[in-house]
Amino acid sequence: MNREALLNNRFKELNKEIQESATEEHKTSVVAVTKYSPVEDIFISHELGHREFGESRVLDLQEKALEFEKKGIQDISWHFIGHLQSNKINRLLKIPNLKYIHSVDSLSLLEAILSKEEQFRGDKLGIFLQVNTSGEDEKYGFTNYDKLAGAINHFLDEHGSRIYLAGLMTMGKIRTDDIEGDARECFKMLKTFKQRLEDDFGVHDLKLSMGMSGDYKIAIEEGSDFIRVGSVLYKSHEL
């Protein structure tokens, strides 16, 4: 089976699983994580009809996005999903067709991004505030509701016209013997934070970015709007 047929089958299988797990009134979008994939696989995925792609390193995202720009392909949405260093913000904001940053993990990073809005070359940029719902030290993110609320308050005071608050992001627990149970707890906590923010600040339509290759089915069941999956689509040893 060639690469196109393999990828086509994987996208179909994933979309079928989403339909089986999601509720009728809720739509979950797939961010195809391509950090270990060559740009050729992204071109194939795009030709198959997929439009949402995620990268965790600014330089890799820039390189792949420019390859699409060279071909004149504009109907693609790039999601930055990795830890963002403040000295890479300018470079990131200039990447063509950047639509979302999923990993705004501190007030200082939020402030830095908002202060550089003039560097953004697109029309609208959605940001997700990353929440450390598992309490693990190796993860970045806001560690409690008060800190998260402080960031929301700052955003509402300072945001410009093109950068908007898309929602909240989290990851399931890494060190665990109960992946499903602990992931569900992390995702439920993020949902609770979302509801509190909407009640306290009057913000509406916040999206949830949660669920990766090992726990995306649980995330879908818990109402995730964006799942970030790579290995289930791009298993290099089979492509």
Distance CA 171, CA 27 (A): 19
Residues 6+ apart with CB under 8 A from 73: 46
Q: What Rg, from alpha-carbon coordinates, does the chain have?
A: 17
Tokens representing residue 14 in the block: 């994933």
Distance CA 232, CA 7 (A): 10
pTM over 0.85: yes
Instruction: Please check whether residue 102 is in contact with residue 81, taking contact to mean a CB–CB distance below 8 angstroms.
Output: yes
Q: Report helix, strand or coil for 180.
A: helix
Distance CA 188, CA 148 (A): 16
| Per-domain residue ranges of the chain | 3-238
Residues 6+ apart with CB under 8 A from 144: none
Residue 58, phi then psi, degrees to nearest 5? -60, -45
Distance CA 71, CA 216 (A): 32
CATH code for the structural domain at 3-238? 3.20.20.10
Distance CA 150, CA 134 (A): 20
Per-residue pLDDT tens, the chain, 239 aa: give them: 688 999 999 999 998 888 887 666 678 999 999 999 999 999 999 999 999 999 999 999 999 999 999 999 999 999 999 999 999 999 999 999 999 999 999 999 999 999 999 999 999 999 999 999 999 999 999 999 999 999 999 998 877 689 999 999 999 998 887 888 999 999 999 999 999 999 999 998 999 999 999 999 999 999 999 999 999 999 754 54
